A and B are shown apart, each in its own frame.
Chain A
Amino acid sequence: MRSGKQGTSVAEMAFHGSAMEQAGSHDRARALNAFRLGDRAFYWITRISAILVLLLLGGIIVSLIVGSWPAIVEFGSAFLTTQRWAPSAEPPVLGALSPLYGTILTSAIAMAIAIPVGIGIAVFLTELCPLWARRPIGMAIELLAGIPSIIYGMWGFFILGPFLANTVQPFFIDLFAGVPVLGSIFGGPPSYLSLFNASLILAIMVLPFITAISRDVFATVPPVLKEAAYGVGCTTWEVVRHVVLPYTRVGVIGGVMLALGRALGETMAVTFIIGNSFRITPSIFAPGTTISAAIASEFAESDGLHQSSLMLLGLLLFVLTFFVLAAARLMLLRLEKKAGKQA
């Protein structure tokens, strides 16, 4: 994105530069004409870029729909409510319920962990951290975002998975044994590959998005607001809760949405550690699957209706992400309105 912008602005400057030279030797009207031409070219370059994005998006949607059409015709709405995933049954029965469940559950758990921790880190970095430590901690967080997801997958598989299965999972299983509902949510046996492990990895992966964006927007809060609040005797918590967060709400929610988008679509790391099993069990320590993990592990060997169903899964993820983003926009609008009324 950034390099593209620079590219066009350099081109524009070159345009203007040559136009100026002309203005020196030729008449004014011609120079102005050149400026106008430059402006128009710039306008069209940017407009075409924007249209290109729309075309690409439309193309992807259309090809997904075309690819998944046989599955849509075959299964209809039952695709959404069927838990069975049996590509080699006669006839094949394919349902999206368990990957949908896995996608939503892992993202929800990941966000439940990552939002408080991520915002907490950002608050610490901007409000409480000694100045000399801000840079190293901030950079460490940003480096986390740069680690390729396959590395997270391998780390989750070889180190985090065994660690969780031998320590954290047995602890929760023993703690809630016999308790209704919680007992089955945290039901055993411990597993190296599970929905819970995948959620935890996702939480670590999306943390930098939330922290980096929150930190940047927290830094935009005018110091005078904070100083005024401290001046009337607010605690740090009160300043964060009543001044910083309301002021930066839009930006923070934007960061959270970006993180959620990544969590919903993350493929490689999740495929490594989720266990790739098309079953829905009440326990979060059981293996499961997500939409992207299912596509990644089955697409190469699929054909016919199976492949078409995987395309339909892709379409579902597309729709899911779209609705999540739309819901976020709506929420922001309503928040804005409410804030407007209060003021």
Chain B
Amino acid sequence: MNFFKAIAAAGLVAASASAFSLPARAADITGAGATFPFPVYSKWADAYKKETGNGLNYQSIGSGAGIKQILARTVTFGATDAPLKADKLDKDGLLQWPMVMGAIVPVVNVEGVGPGELVLSGELLGDIYLGKVTRWDDPAIAKLNPKLKLPSAAIAVVHRSDGSGTSFNFTNYLSKVNAEWKSKVGEGTAVEWPAGVGAKGNEGVSGNVGQTRNSIGYVEYAYAKQNKLTYAALINKAGKTVQPTVASFQAAAANADWAHAPGYYVILTDQPGEASWPITAATFILMQKEPADKAASTEAIKFFKWSFEKGGKMAEELDYIPMPESVVKQIETTWTSEIKS
């Protein structure tokens, strides 16, 4: 029955959202989608409201749901962590661009292990999530961590139970670095997890890992930081051990070739470079090229423009990485040429 309630609630939300966008003088900008950028979007919205008086109503309901809502035109913009391919964008008349970048970090809860002390390689992380490495005192973990004293206990693996862009980027990374993962599980917003327990949302995974002894999970960096979870260091493509810091995220982001990607389809996992954090990800905005409510659409673009210009520092405070200047210029040209207003 709860399921029907949820549908009814979604219907109500959708109905109120469309009712909101009807008046000519757009009151609030409505958007829905990914949970990954929710902290930074709400911070921007707060500052934007103080400056301009226009509010943003963003529902962080997940990337897939965000895509559905923008296709149904119930919101002015959708947000997704897993970008849509160019042909899909063309088919549905959507415009897509990256808004901000962030990073996903493995988090652990093991007695005697502090933040950044545990070192994992992508392949090992894949083996743990495949259920092949099941104990913390496994020789494969000991080999990378000769100085750490790890308990003789089973590893409690935690993954997302809901479909999510965070999972998409995480499994995309594992597919790139672990051949068995690629053939057995693959990448996706919801995959067939071979091991572990599922928790709902970034907050669910952080809650579970914080709660469960000898566990491992993966969350967006801001959630790890807010919940004071013990993150692990990773060995990147260049074979160097890197800590999750804004510098290492930026190093990964700097490599991305946005200019030549149709629909800005770029996935930032496993980037080359000695300092690159291997699980970096961009999060995307989707808008209708021919919006039903042109005024609302113009308001939304104003907000995004403002965020690109003034939101960089706020994003960095929350450990997101602002888009580089050149990309922002390119995106702004795309707006004027593609969106009819």
**A interface residues, Cβ below 8 angstroms from B:** 60, 84-90, 157-158, 161-162, 189, 191-193, 265, 267-268, 271, 275-278, 287, 289, 292, 295-303, 306, 314
Complex formed: what's the CA distance from A300 to B198 in Å? 15
Contact of A277 with B164 in the complex, beta carbons under 8 Å: no
The smallest C-beta distance from A87 to any residue of chain B, in angstroms, reads: 5
Question: Which single member of B2, B63, B207 contacts A157 (CB below 8 Å)?
Answer: B207
Contact of A87 with B190 in the complex, beta carbons under 8 Å: yes
The 3 closest A-B pairs by CB, nearest first: A301-B163, A88-B188, A276-B198
Contact of A277 with B64 in the complex, beta carbons under 8 Å: no
The reply on B335 being an interface residue by CB < 8 A is: no
Contact of A89 with B197 in the complex, beta carbons under 8 Å: no
Closest to A265 in B: B1
Contact of B189 with A88 in the complex, beta carbons under 8 Å: yes
- Interface membership of chain B positions 27-56, coded 1 if the CB is closer than 8 angstroms to chain A and 0 otherwise: 000000000000000000000000000000
In the assembled complex, which residues on chain A have CB atoms less than 8 Å from the CB atom of B3? 267, 292, 295-296, 299, 314
Contact of B211 with A158 in the complex, beta carbons under 8 Å: yes
Contact of A85 with B162 in the complex, beta carbons under 8 Å: no
The smallest C-beta distance from A92 to any residue of chain B, in angstroms, reads: 10
Complex formed: what's the CA distance from A277 to B190 in Å? 12
The reply on B285 being an interface residue by CB < 8 A is: no
In the assembled complex, which residues on chain A have CB atoms less than 8 Å from the CB atom of B190? 87-88, 298, 301-302, 306
Closest to A311 in B: B3
The number of inter-chain residue pairs (CB within 8 angstroms) is 98
Question: Which single member of B162, B186, B192, B196 contacts A300 (CB below 8 Å)?
Answer: B162
Complex formed: what's the CA distance from A162 to B211 in Å? 8
**B interface residues, Cβ below 8 angstroms from A:** 1-4, 6, 61-65, 68, 154, 156, 161-164, 186-193, 196-200, 207-208, 211-212
Complex formed: what's the CA distance from A90 to B191 in Å? 11
Contact of B191 with A297 in the complex, beta carbons under 8 Å: no
In the assembled complex, which residues on chain B have CB atoms less than 8 Å from the CB atom of A89? 186, 192
In the assembled complex, which residues on chain B have CB atoms less than 8 Å from the CB atom of A86? 191-192
Complex formed: what's the CA distance from A275 to B204 in Å? 11
In the assembled complex, which residues on chain A have CB atoms less than 8 Å from the CB atom of B61? 300
In the assembled complex, which residues on chain A have CB atoms less than 8 Å from the CB atom of B196? 277, 287
For A157, A271, A298, A301, which residue has the most chain B Cβ atoms within 10 angstroms? A301
Question: Which single member of A60, A192, A265 contacts B211 (CB below 8 Å)?
Answer: A192
Contact of A278 with B192 in the complex, beta carbons under 8 Å: yes
| Known pairs A292-B3, A296-B2; A277 contacts B193 (CB<8 A) | yes
In the assembled complex, which residues on chain B have CB atoms less than 8 Å from the CB atom of A191? 156, 197
In the assembled complex, which residues on chain A have CB atoms less than 8 Å from the CB atom of B212? 192
The smallest C-beta distance from B22 to any residue of chain A, in angstroms, reads: 25
Question: Which single member of A158, A276, A295, A301 contacts B189 (CB below 8 Å)?
Answer: A301
Contact of B68 with A276 in the complex, beta carbons under 8 Å: no
Complex formed: what's the CA distance from A88 to B65 in Å? 16
The smallest C-beta distance from B147 to any residue of chain A, in angstroms, reads: 26
Closest to A294 in B: B161
Question: Which single member of B1, B68, B161, B186 contacts A297 (CB below 8 Å)?
Answer: B161
Closest to A149 in B: B2
For B1, B3, B154, which residue has the most chain A Cβ atoms within 10 angstroms? B3
Contact of B2 with A267 in the complex, beta carbons under 8 Å: yes
Sample of 29 A–B contacts (CB below 8 Å) = A84-B192, A87-B163, A87-B191, A87-B192, A88-B186, A89-B186, A90-B186, A157-B207, A161-B211, A189-B154, A191-B156, A192-B197, A192-B211, A265-B1, A267-B1, A271-B200, A275-B198, A276-B198, A276-B200, A277-B197, A297-B198, A298-B163, A299-B3, A300-B64, A300-B162, A300-B163, A301-B189, A303-B68, A306-B190
In the assembled complex, which residues on chain A have CB atoms less than 8 Å from the CB atom of B68? 303
